[in-house]
Amino acid sequence: MTAPTQSMGNPSSEGWFGDFGGRFVPEPLMPACLELEAAFTDAWADPAFHAEFESVLSSFGGRPTPVSECLRLSEELGIRLLLKREDLAHTGSHKINNVIGQALLTKRMGKTKMIAETGAGQHGVASATAAALLGLECTVYMGEVDTKRQALNVFRMELLGAKVHPVTSGSRTLKDAVNEAMRTWVAEVDDTHYCLGSVMGPHPFPWMVREFQSILGREARGQCEKILGDVPDYVVACVGGGSNAAGIFSGFANSRAQLIGVEALGGAAIASGIPGVLHGMMSQLLQDEAGQINEAHSISAGLDYPGIGPEHAHLAATGRATYATAGDDEVLDALQRLSRTEGIIPALEPAHALAWIINEAGRAIPTGSTVLLNMSGRGDKDVAQVREILQAKGLYQ
Amino acid sequence: MSRPHLETHLRAKVASGGKLLVPYLMAGQSDDWLDTVQALAEAGADAIEIGLPFSDPIMDGPVIQQAAVVALERGTTPESALRELATLDLDIPLVVMTYYNLIFRAGHDRFAGRLAEVGVSGCILPDLSLEEMDDWGRAASAAGVDTVLLVAPSTSVERAQMICDRSRGFLYAVGRMGVTGERAEISHQVAEVVEKVKPLTTLPVCVGVGVSNPAQAAQVTGLADGAVVGSALVRRLLEGAGPEGAASFIASLRHAIDQRG
C-alpha cells in the first residue's frame, strides 16, 4: 500500500488549513493575534532565535530524545516497534518544546507574564517550568475538577513559582480552563502572552505550536533513517488537541509513511465530530444539534477535549492522516503491557496510540511492518489513578 | 410583525437629539423572560439585546455565564428562543447576541431567515471576526438583518475604519479591555475608544462592557450615543428581580441618561 505524500505546509495568510483554522476571536483579542503572528513570523525567520530555542532545548530540555526499539513487545506483536522517547524530555513530555518556544517569544515581544490552560497538568507544569527558567510571571488556569484529580501537579506548579487559578465555570475541566484563559487574556493582553498548550485556538497558534513541536519529528526522521535505513511504515501518535502528533507527523508527512492519530473513544472529534467554531478555530467538534459543545470523557485528562487542532481536521479531510480511537480498557491493558515488556511506564495519552497498535498488529498493520510510536509522555502522573482503577476492577490488591 | 428596523430606529432617535439605552438579557434565563422583554420596552429601552445561550461564551464574565447555564438547563435552544420572541408585540427593535457556532451549525441563510421571520433585525456575534464574517454578512444582508460589529480599545484606527464600514445597526464600542461584567468605575478607555471611532462613522456608537448603574450610564452617554447594559440587569434577574424589578432598574437608567441630556 502506498500512502500519498504531501507535506504539512504553512496555513493561508488568514490561518486556514484547507477548510479548517482561521481566527474566530472577539475584536479586543484580534490585535493580539495579529501581533503574535507578526512576532512569531519574524522570530522563526531569525537564525538567532532558532539557535537559542535549540540551545535551551538541548542544555535544559534534554533534547534530542532517543528512539528506542521495543524488542520483546515487537516479537509478541510480529512487527518492529520503535518509540520516540518524549517521555525522557524535561518535565516528562513533549510539552516542553512548545513552552520553551513560546516563553522565548514572550520575552522577545517584551511581555513579562504568561498565562496557560491545563487539563491534567502537563502543559501547566511545563509552562511554570519555562516561566521559572526565563523569569516570567506565570498563572495557570485549571478546571476545579482537574485541580482535585491532579493535586500533585498543582503543587508542582506552585513549587515552580506559578499561580494556579481553579476554574469554576462550566464543566470545570480543560475546555473551561481554555475559556477562562482567553477571558483573562482579553483583560491583560498588554503585558501578557497566552501560552496555549496545543495545536489549537486562533491563528497563529495551530501553526506556531506545530512549528515548535516539529523539532521532535525532524529528530525522529533522522533517527529512523539510521536505525531502519528508511522511514517507518507507520507513524502513530495520540491526539487530544494534537500537538505531539503534529510534531511527529511533520517529520514524515512528505514520506511514504502512513500517519495515524489515535483519539480517546469518548473524545473522538474526527470520528464523531461535526465542523464548528470553538476556542477561536474552525475544526471538528463534539456538539449537539443546536451547536452547544459536548464534553469529552475518557480515562485520560490530556485527551478530554471536545475538539481537535484544525490541521488534523484538514489531514483527515485530505486523507493524508487517518484517525482511529481507543477505549479506556484497552488503554489500561496497553499501559501495563508496555511497562512489563519494555520497562517503560507510558502516560495514559500515548497508551491510547499503543492500544491501537496492539489491536491492529497483524490486522490493519501487516505482520513485519515497521511502526514508530510517539511516546509523548511518561506515566508517573497517572500511576495513582491507574492503581485506583485496577483496584476497583479487582485487578490489583 | 411591524417592529421598527434596528438601524433606522436608532438613527432617528439620535437625529432627534436622544440618547440610546440598550439593555441585554439572556433568553430563557427565567420563566418570565418574555414578560421582562416587554417590561424593558415599556421602561424606556430603545432596543433590546437578546442573548442566545452558548455553552462556551468566551467574551462573557461570570454573571452572563451563569445566565447561560441557567437558560441551557431550562432547555433553551436558539429555535425555542426565537419562536417565543415571535409572539411579542413590541414597538422597538430586537437584536440577538450570541456566538458564531450556533449560527454556523444552523446554516447562515437559514438562521438569518429565521431572525427576519421572527422580527429580529440585528445580530451581534462577538467571536466572528471582521476577517471571517463574509459568508454570514451576505446572508444577513440578504435577509435584512443588521450585523453589529465591535470596536475595542486595542483596535487600530485602520482596523476601526474597516469595522465601521462593515457594521450595521450601530457600532458596539467595547468600553474596556475585558469580558462583560459590572465595574466600580467607567474606564478611561471609553473616552479613548469613542474619540477613535466618532470621526470614522455616522452610525450610532453605543458603549458596552462595564456599564453598571444610572450614574455610569449617564457618564457614558455624555461621550457616546448610547449605552448597552448587560451584567447589571442580568444579575438582578438572576437574583429574582422579575419583570417589575428589571423595569424599575432600566427606568432609573433612562431617567439618569435623559436628565443629563
Determine contact, residues B114/B139, Cβ cutoff 8 Å. no
Domains of chain A: 17-57+95-205 (3.40.50.1100), 65-93+216-392 (3.40.50.1100)
- Alpha-carbon span B223 to B33, nearest angstrom: 31
Determine contact, residues A244/A238, Cβ cutoff 8 Å. yes
What's the average model confidence in pLDDT over B149-172?
97
- Alpha-carbon span B26 to B158, nearest angstrom: 33
- Alpha-carbon span A262 to A258, nearest angstrom: 13
CATH (residue range B19-147+212-260): 3.20.20.70
Residues of B in contact with A23 (CB under 8 A): 129, 131-132
For cell 466600580, name the residue.
Answer: B184
C-alpha cell, A346: 507510558
Residue ranges in A165-280 assigned as alpha helix (H): 174-188, 205-228, 243-252, 269-272
Residues of B in contact with A293 (CB under 8 A): 55-56, 101
- Alpha-carbon span A58 to A55, nearest angstrom: 5
Q: What is the pLDDT of residue B261?
A: 59
Residue of A34, A183, A185 best to disrupt the B interface, most CBs of B under 10 A: A183
- Alpha-carbon span A154 to A143, nearest angstrom: 11
Q: In what order do the strands lie in the sheet with A113-118?
A: A163-167, A137-143, A113-118, A192-194
Residues of B in contact with A182 (CB under 8 A): 58
Among chain B residues, the shortest Cα distance to A182 is held by B58
- For chain B, which residues lie within 8 Å of any Cβ of chain A, measuring from their own Cβ? 54-62, 65, 69, 72, 77-79, 99-106, 126-132, 149-156, 159, 163, 174, 177-179
Task: Out of A27, A169, A289, name the one closest to residue B65 (CB).
Answer: A169
Q: Distance from B153 to chain A by nearest Cα, in Å? A: 7
Residues of B in contact with A22 (CB under 8 A): 131-132
DSSP-assigned letters across all residues of chain B: --PPPHHHHHHHHHHTT--EEEEEEETTSSTTHHHHHHHHHHTT-SSEEEEPP-S--TT--HHHHHHHHHHHHTT--HHHHHHHHTT---SS-EEEE--HHHHHHH-HHHHHHHHHHTT--EEE-TTS-GGG-HHHHHHHHHHT-EEEEEE-TT--HHHHHHHHHH--S-EEEE-SSS-S---SS--THHHHHHHHHGGG--S-EEEESS--SHHHHHHHHHHSSEEEE-HHHHHHHHTT-HHHHHHHHHHHHHHHHHHH-
Please answer yes or no on whether A186 and B65 come within 8 Å at the CB atom. Answer: no
| Amino acid making up residue A165 | H
Question: How many other C-beta atoms lie within 10 A of the C-beta of residue A253?
Answer: 22
Residue ranges in chain A assigned as alpha helix (H): 30-44, 47-59, 71-77, 95-108, 122-134, 144-149, 151-159, 174-188, 205-228, 243-252, 269-272, 310-318, 328-342, 348-360, 383-392
Q: A6-38 as b/e, with b when 16 or more CB fall inside 10 Å? A: eebeebeeebbbeebbbbbbbbbbbbbbbebbe
* A29 phi, psi to nearest 5 deg: -90, -15
- Give the model confidence (pLDDT) of A309-322 as tens digits: 999 999 999 999 99
Determine contact, residues B198/B207, Cβ cutoff 8 Å. no
Distances (CA, A) of A193 to A37, A365, B152: 12, 43, 18
Q: What is the pLDDT of residue A6?
A: 56
Distances (CA, A) of B14 to A279, B221, B225, B230: 37, 11, 7, 21
CB pairs under 8 A between A and B: 123
- pLDDT above 70: percentage of residues in chain B: 99
Verify whether residue B60 is a known catalytic residue.
yes
- Give the model confidence (pLDDT) of B175-222 as tens digits: 988 888 888 888 899 999 999 999 999 999 999 988 999 999 999 999
Question: How many other C-beta atoms lie within 10 A of the C-beta of residue B202?
Answer: 10
Residues of A in contact with B103 (CB under 8 A): 291
Distance separating the N- and C-terminal Cα atoms of chain B: 32
Please answer yes or no on whether B102 and A190 come within 8 Å at the CB atom. Answer: no
Residues 6+ apart with CB under 8 A from B72: A292, B28, B53, B55
Q: What is the pLDDT of residue A3?
A: 40
Distances (CA, A) of A326 to A333, A357, A384: 11, 10, 21
Identified catalytic residue from B60, B146, B182, B225: B60
Please answer yes or no on whether B177 and A190 come within 8 Å at the CB atom. Answer: yes
Please answer yes or no on whether B179 and A186 come within 8 Å at the CB atom. Answer: yes
Q: What is the pLDDT of residue B3?
A: 85
Task: Out of A28, A183, A280, name the one closest to residue B174 (CB).
Answer: A28
- The pLDDT confidence band at residue B83, using thresholds 50, 70 and 90, is very high
Q: Which residues pair with A321 in a beta bridge?
A: A259
Question: How many other C-beta atoms lie within 10 A of the C-beta of residue B62?
Answer: 15
Determine contact, residues A122/A200, Cβ cutoff 8 Å. no
Task: Out of A186, A187, A278, name the one closest to residue B101 (CB).
Answer: A278
All structural domains of chain B with their residue ranges: 19-147+212-260
Task: Out of A28, A276, A279, name the one closest to residue B105 (CB).
Answer: A276
Q: What is the pLDDT of residue A149?
A: 81
Please answer yes or no on whether A27 and B149 come within 8 Å at the CB atom. Answer: yes
- Alpha-carbon span A268 to A307, nearest angstrom: 8
- Give the model confidence (pLDDT) of A3-61 as tens digits: 444 579 999 999 999 999 999 999 999 999 999 999 999 999 999 999 999 999 999 99
C-alpha cell, A202: 486562533
Q: What is the pLDDT of residue A1?
A: 36
Residue of B100, B154, B161, B172 best to disrupt the A interface, most CBs of A under 10 A: B154
* Beta strands at B146-151 and A16-17: parallel, antiparallel or unpaired: unpaired
Determine contact, residues B232/B249, Cβ cutoff 8 Å. yes
Please answer yes or no on whether A279 and B56 come within 8 Å at the CB atom. Answer: yes
Residues of B in contact with A292 (CB under 8 A): 54-55, 72, 102
DSSP-assigned letters across all residues of A268-310: -HHHH-EEEEETTEEEEE-B-TTSPBPPP--S-GGG--SS--H
Q: What is the pLDDT of residue A7?
A: 72
The separation between CA A162 and the C-alpha centre of its own chain, rounded to angstroms, equals 21
Q: Which of B26, B188, B162, B3 is nearest to B89 (CA)?
A: B3
Residues 6+ apart with CB under 8 A from B46: B9, B10, B13, B18, B20, B21, B22, B92, B226
Please answer yes or no on whether B57 and A179 come within 8 Å at the CB atom. Answer: yes
Task: Judge whether residue B120 has pLDDT over 90.
Answer: yes
- For chain A, which residues lie within 8 Å of any Cβ of chain B, measuring from their own Cβ? 14, 22-32, 169-170, 175-176, 179, 182-183, 186-190, 274-280, 282, 285, 287, 289-293
Task: Judge whether residue B159 has pLDDT over 70.
Answer: yes
Q: What is the mean pLDDT of chain B?
A: 96
What is the sign of the dihedral through the CA atoms of B248, B253, B259 and B261? negative
- Alpha-carbon span A111 to A357, nearest angstrom: 43
DSSP annotation of A4 reads -
pLDDT by position in tens, chain A (length 397): 334 445 799 999 999 999 999 999 999 999 999 999 999 999 999 999 999 999 999 999 999 999 999 999 999 999 999 999 999 999 999 999 999 999 999 999 999 999 999 988 999 999 999 999 999 999 999 999 889 888 889 999 999 999 999 999 878 888 899 999 999 998 898 899 999 999 999 999 999 999 999 999 999 999 999 999 999 999 999 999 999 999 999 999 999 999 999 999 998 999 888 999 999 999 999 999 999 999 888 888 888 889 999 999 999 999 999 999 999 999 999 999 999 999 999 999 999 999 999 999 999 999 999 999 999 999 999 999 999 999 999 988 8
Determine contact, residues A82/A107, Cβ cutoff 8 Å. no
Please answer yes or no on whether B105 and A287 come within 8 Å at the CB atom. Answer: yes
Task: Out of A24, A186, A289, name the one closest to residue B129 (CB).
Answer: A24
Among chain A residues, the shortest Cα distance to B179 is held by A183
